[in-house]
Structure 1
Amino acid sequence: MAGLSKDWVLATHNSGKTRELQDLFMKHPVRLLSAKDLALPEPEETGTTFEANAELKAIAAAQATGRVAIADDSGVAVHALGGEPGIHTARWAGEGRDFDIARRRVDARLRELGEGVSRRATYVCVLCVAWPDGSARTFRGESLGTLVWPIRGDLGHGFEPMFLPDGFAMTYGEMTPDQRRRVNARAAAMRRLEEALFGATALTAGS
């Protein structure tokens, strides 16, 4: 495994993830280059876990550019739905990746299960850092909470306006970006990444 370069490729075309990860990396001497700006294709997510999907995206970007790459795979695992949407969020959102459709489908499925059904869910985020030689490391973060309906707030993306994290009175969609990135699953994954890669590893000039 090579060292850490100062320019990393952010292997996502999702503008919400891009903004949040760029904010999380502001305190580190790393510049994130957007996969969208680099016109990198999005690989098909064929993995069966969040870890597998994050890894295949990060490795594809690292090998295509010759740079260290970071990818994110995240979603909501609804307990009463056997962990769905989970890694299958795109299917729930339809061809246009419309999360309003996905949220409505999840709420409808829960209502079909009856009035007393649990609306508990786990927000999962896995970050993967990969190197051009194909090596990679993954970091998982989780947040427990309850799904609310109707949705609340328009400051988040995906299922965030529907997710009320334990211990808080606001959904992720009602929190400011600064509040959200302190407490959500992506922040938890980022803390593990920081401990592993920035705690004792110095940045090198190249990868």
Structure 2
Amino acid sequence: MGPREVEREERDKRQEHARREVVAMLGALEAHAHQAVELTQAALRDPRPGNLAFWRAFRAKIDDFRALVSLINLRLPGLEGARADALGQEFRRLDAAMLTLYVRTAGVHFRAMLDRAVLPLVAHDVLRPELALLDEALARLAGGEEASPRLAASATAARADLEEVLRRVPALPDFDEPDAPADPPRLAARDGLQ
């Protein structure tokens, strides 16, 4: 076997390894998507709508999904051939489905939170990062392959509901701020305490 054949065989092995890696990651993406759907369905049956514990579990699945998306985005450009195109299409389908699930779930969840008389104190700090994620979703839905005016309207409504939730619940104080006093104020001697 000549040097060209050896080089081609090595390249084919790398391609096959990369393809298998992407296939495994796509399987993991699909599993995370199914788990996120199950969480959403369970939350819809929950007698306490707008449950923050559900949102944390759902967001953990979304974060795991997004991490895998980043890895796949790094691997896909290195693949060649018809199999690579099919894997790319499957990846884009799953990513679009998860975007739709996130936007719809956020809309239902934040609307339910607005209807609650009492919101958890930590709601502001837990939910504030969602503004950036909804903005990202809106940008994706505004143009390109994923353009969807109806879903963009849902994302806009979810963002408005979230902003209202954030207005209703104050942020917790950050005791690590440099402006915060190092020691709590002492009671004056005139108050009878020393």
**TM-score, with structure 2 as normaliser:** 0.26
Larger Rg: 2
Q: Which has the higher helix share?
A: 2
- Which of the two has greater strand per residue? 1
With the length of structure 1 as denominator, give the TM-score of the two structures.
Answer: 0.25
